[in-house]
Amino acid sequence: MKFKKIILCLMACILGLSILLPVRTLADNNNLNINAESAILIDGDTGKVLYEKSAYERREPASTTKIMTALLTLENCNLDDVATVTSEAITSVPSGYSTDLLLMGEELTIKDLLYALLLPSSNEAANVLAIHVAGSIDSFASMMNTKAVELGCKNTHFVNPNGVHDDNHYTTAYDLSLIAQEAMKNDTFRQIVSTASYTLPSSNKYSRIDRTLITTNDLIKKQSENYYEYAVGIKTGFTTPAGNCLISSATKDDKNLIAVVLKSNTDSNRYNDVKTLFNYGFDNFSRKDVVKSGDIVSTIDVKNATSATKNLNLVAETGVNTIVTNDKLNNTIEPEITLNEDLQAPIKKDAIVGTATYTVDNIQYTVNLKAGNDVKKSYVLYIVIAIAIIALILILFEKPNNKKKQKGKRKKSNVRPIGYYKAR
């Protein structure tokens, strides 16, 4: 008996712990053997995190910083604008970092400078763009930090546009994934980072056309052993403190993924890490239409409506498409519906009547609900009330008239003709 009690107690403890302990996601449970000290894989369309390893810890970004530099440049310049390579742009790059691509006083278009920035990772090109956009490197760094906050970065601080080492220049894998996601929405940025080589035109300081820029990203070089057929950029980075860094995007079928690895110990390992992350994402996740635009989410009865129109279809104004693990692909997700207060007839078709909120992997997606049909107001009740009021009024007026008639009749019956009694 005592033994049974002990077993029951142990089972109760195990059950209690299973309830209290957090539920781990599929991504957490998969040991992907990522070499980098920090890594993250997100859905490039929704930003949903599919895998992370120390993704919220501070790291140095090295030249992956230049993604933010390019993003701000594209937001503030035209591609055919011309910028000049100043002395400050070259001399402000510390000794030990390359500055041998551009010449002092050289005039180049923003487009050419962006290719120089993102393919061979020109440090002086980053400075030229920063000075052109903001007037100074410090002012541009301030713009970078403001933009980072706008994008939702929580632990990022930039002090320069190129990523040269500075103790106050830091970010996280998660923050970099947000920056990369935003940059990849720009068609020009996407085109540049997916380009393996580009030749600079001649300029006022360089007459030959032999400066062919080669990307540092082996994922998009077909001749490289690190080539990955689904890769679409984005940017490498390296300094001794930062280690080997890589931010990349890959597209396969209907899935767009972004991977970030920071502080990998070798060049080849950073590529292997990214490929591992992409293969994991493509093999284990699928896109799911939780609801499509125009779908009937529910049907309700509307107050004070005619019997023919009282059934109102609640229609999704927009769709919700997200990425889920393959085992959840066929699951039906019921929404939480919130209707507008005091919803009643009349209602015009396509009027917003409420919202529907879908929860997928603890992430909420809310869409507006439109009226799928006209709902006409019923006047039957008003007619009944009006008839009742009229009837009541008639009854009230009828009673006094009847009394008067009755009194009149009684008086008439008491009158006798003259000579009545004599005749008798």
Which residues are annotated as catalytic? 63, 66, 121
CB 219 within 8 A of CB 206: no
Give the pair of three-digit tokens for residue 84. 């000049």
Q: What is the greatest pairwise CA distance in the chain?
A: 154
Task: Output the DSSP codes for 272-318.
Answer: HHHHHHHHHHHHHEEEEEEE-TT-EEEEEEPBTB-TTT-EEEEEESS
The alpha carbon of residue 166 and the mean position of all alpha carbons in its chain are separated, in whole angstroms, by 32
Give the pair of three-digit tokens for residue 120. 């061979």
Residue owning tokens 């019956």: 413
The alpha carbon of residue 301 and the mean position of all alpha carbons in its chain are separated, in whole angstroms, by 34
Q: How is residue 330 annotated by DSSP?
A: T
Q: How many CB atoms lie within 10 A of CB 292?
A: 11
Three-class DSSP category at 15? helix
Of 21, 2, 118, give the one whose Cα is nearest residue 66: 118
- Which amino acid makes up residue 296? I
Give, in order, the Cα–Cα distances in Å from 246 to each of 76, 138, 191. 26, 25, 18
Q: How is residue 357 annotated by DSSP?
A: E
Contacts 24+ apart (CB under 8 A), 105-109: 105/204, 105/205, 106/203, 106/204, 106/205, 106/206, 107/82, 107/83, 107/203, 107/204, 107/205, 108/82, 108/83, 108/200, 108/203, 109/79, 109/80, 109/81, 109/82, 109/83
Cross-strand partners of 356: 337, 367
Question: How many residues appear in the chain?
Answer: 424
